[in-house]
Copies of this chain bind each other. A is one copy, B any other.
Amino acid sequence: MSDGAIDVIEKEAGAEPRNGERRRGIDRVIMLLEALLRHRAPMRVGDMAKMIGAPRSTTYEIVNSLLEAEMLENVGSEGYVYFGRAMHLFGWAYSHHNAHYRRIIETLDRLAAETGETVQLCGLRGNKYVVLDCRDSPGPFRISSDVGVEVPIPWTASGRLLLGHMNEEQLRDFIPAGDYKLPDGRIIAQAEFFADIATAGQQGFSETAALADRFTWCMAAPIQDGHGAINRTLCFVLPVDTPEPRRSELLALLRERARGLSLAGD
């Protein structure tokens, strides 16, 4: 745990508070929750303080307030803290507040139950791709992923659909240069990526094989809103070695369901 060199992570890129700057409690809360989400595991108050660059005393006060509100909760007995029950309730309220989202969730459930495969609902968050919800396939060796984790758009099948409305110039501005580099070091050529986007838009689906990792075959189909825009995709995450007939069967099913969820627009 203790590294030799004591590099307290100087806050990442951009405007950071001058030494001895004061911040609002609200902003601290927001930073803290986002830090916790990125970290994806219970943290101790001291580490949170470092992560968000806040004084320890302040952090304790904030954390205690949030604990009392059940927005955070103690995990274990060693001072670790993570999201609390209230968050679950707020989040649930969010995802059910409109009928369209509810239909999407039901479809997700049905697709998962019928096929036994991992199904995801995806979208964008800023200039990254995120899994908004998912149903993991059952069985001991599932391929699964965490909701809320941000991934470079070019790594994903869904990303190729979600960017369909942009022209090349917009795309160049939108996607950070580093995001073309895959985890294994390969680089995706911009021209190829742009061509993929065009193709995906035309055929109304997108597939990637062993792109972000070696063992998955992803297929995505667009959910269109009332104006024909694509903000969400439905997608299957399959083992790469899934045989072709099964794949096309699943793709057809996915496209049909995604079309069923698209709003009026036609």
Question: Which A residues lie at the B interface, using CB under 8 A?
Answer: 13-14, 24-27, 29-30, 33-34, 36-37, 40-42, 62, 65-66, 68-71, 75, 82-98, 106, 109, 113, 125, 130, 132-133, 135, 138, 146-148
The count of identical subunits is 2
Instruction: Provide the residues of chain B in CB contact with A29, threshold 8 Å.
Output: 26, 29
Q: Is the CB of B13 within 8 A of A93?
A: no
Instruction: Provide the residues of chain B in CB contact with A125, threshold 8 Å.
Output: 70, 85
**Nearest-CB distance from A106 to chain B (Å)?**
8
A-B contact sample (13 more), CB < 8 A, given A26-B29, A33-B86: A13-B68, A26-B26, A30-B66, A33-B69, A33-B71, A33-B90, A75-B97, A87-B91, A87-B93, A89-B130, A89-B148, A90-B91, A113-B113
**Nearest-CB distance from A263 to chain B (Å)?**
15
Instruction: Provide the residues of chain B in CB contact with A30, threshold 8 Å.
Output: 65-66, 69, 71
Smallest CB-CB separation from A112: which chain B residue? B109
Q: 5 closest A-B pairs (Cβ-Cβ)?
A: A91-B91, A89-B148, A83-B94, A87-B90, A92-B147
